[in-house]
C-alpha cells in the first residue's frame, strides 16, 4: 500500500481555495457526526442517487454538487483531504483561484456521470469529494509527471518512506481504481467516479490552462 505524504513541488501562490475546500468538507463532516440520527436522511437528501437524477433531473441535479461535500466516515474524509492538500495546491497555482474551483467542480460533475452510467437504476446515495479530487490527480499527472512525492510504503511488516515520481504513484493509483471497478463494480466505493474524474482531469487541464494564458494576454 502506498500513502502519499508530501510532494516536492513548491508553489508560488498561497493555496487559498484548496484550504477553503478542505475546511468546508471538514466542517460539514463535523456537523454530520454531530447529528448521528440524521446521517441517513442527509445522505438520501443531499447525496447523489442515480435513479433520482435520471427520473427528475431538474429537481435533483444540485445533489451532484452537494454530494461532493459529504463523507461517509473519518477515513473517507481524511484520505480525500490528504490527496487534495498534496496535489490541489499545485493545480490551483497553475490555474488561478477561480479557474481552479471551476475545474474542480467540472471534474466532480463528470466523475458523477461516470458513476451514474454504470448503474442508472441505483438507489444508493453517492457521497464524497473523491471524483473531483481524482480530476486533480489526473491534472497533476499531466502537468507534473516527474515531481517527487514522499510516500509511505507498506509491504507486509516492512514500512518505509520513499521518494517516487508522481507518474509512478498516480499510475499505480488509477490502475487500482480500474482493477477494483472491473472486479468489484460500484458497491461500497464509486470506483467509476474515480476513473471518470481522473480521465476528465487529464483531458481538461491543458484547455483550462490555455484559458488562463489567453486571459492573461489581454
Which of 112, 122, 130, 134 is labelled catalytic? 130
> Does residue 130 have an active-site annotation?
yes
71, 112, 166, 194: the catalytic one is: 194
Cell numbers standing for residue 11: 508553489
3-state secondary structure of 55: helix
Secondary element (H or E) of residue 213: helix 191-216
Q: How many residues comprise the chain? A: 218
Confirm if 149 and 166 have CB atoms less than 8 A apart. yes
Whole-angstrom Cα distance, residue 198 to residue 201? 5
| Pick from 170, 107, 112, 133: nearest CA to 21 | 133
Catalytic center residues: 130, 194
Amino acid at each position: 500500500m502506498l500513502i502519499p505524504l508530501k510532494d516536492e513541488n513548491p508553489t508560488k501562490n498561497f493555496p487559498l481555495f484548496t484550504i477553503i475546500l478542505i475546511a468546508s468538507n471538514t466542517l460539514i463532516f463535523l456537523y454530520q457526526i454531530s447529528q448521528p440520527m440524521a446521517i441517513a436522511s442527509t445522505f438520501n437528501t443531499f447525496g447523489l442517487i442515480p435513479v433520482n437524477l435520471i427520473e427528475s433531473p431538474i429537481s435533483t441535479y444540485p445533489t451532484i454538487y452537494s454530494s461532493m461535500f459529504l463523507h461517509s466516515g473519518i477515513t473517507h474524509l481524511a484520505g480525500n483531504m490528504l490527496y487534495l492538500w498534496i496535489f490541489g495546491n499545485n493545480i490551483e497555482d497553475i490555474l488561478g483561484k477561480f479557474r481552479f474551483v471551476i475545474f474542480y467542480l467540472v471534474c466532480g460533475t463528470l466523475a458523477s456521470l461516470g458513476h451514474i452510467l454504470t448503474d442508472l437504476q441505483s438507489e444508493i446515495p453517492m457521497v464524497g469529494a473523491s471524483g473531483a479530487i481524482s480530476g486533480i490527480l489526473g491534472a497533476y499527472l499531466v502537468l507534473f509527471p516527474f515531481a517527487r512525492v514522499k510516500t509511505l510504503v507498506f509491504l507486509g511488516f516492512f514500512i518505509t518512506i520513499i521518494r517516487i515520481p508522481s507518474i509512478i504513484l498516480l499510475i499505480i493509483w488509477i490502475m487500482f481504481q480500474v482493477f477494483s471497478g472491473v472486479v468489484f463494480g460500484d458497491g461500497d466505493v464509486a470506483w467509476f467516479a474515480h476513473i471518470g474524474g481522473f480521465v476528465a482531469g487529464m483531458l481538461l487541464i491543458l484547455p483550462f490552462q490555455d484559458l488562463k494564458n489567453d486571459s492573461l494576454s489581454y
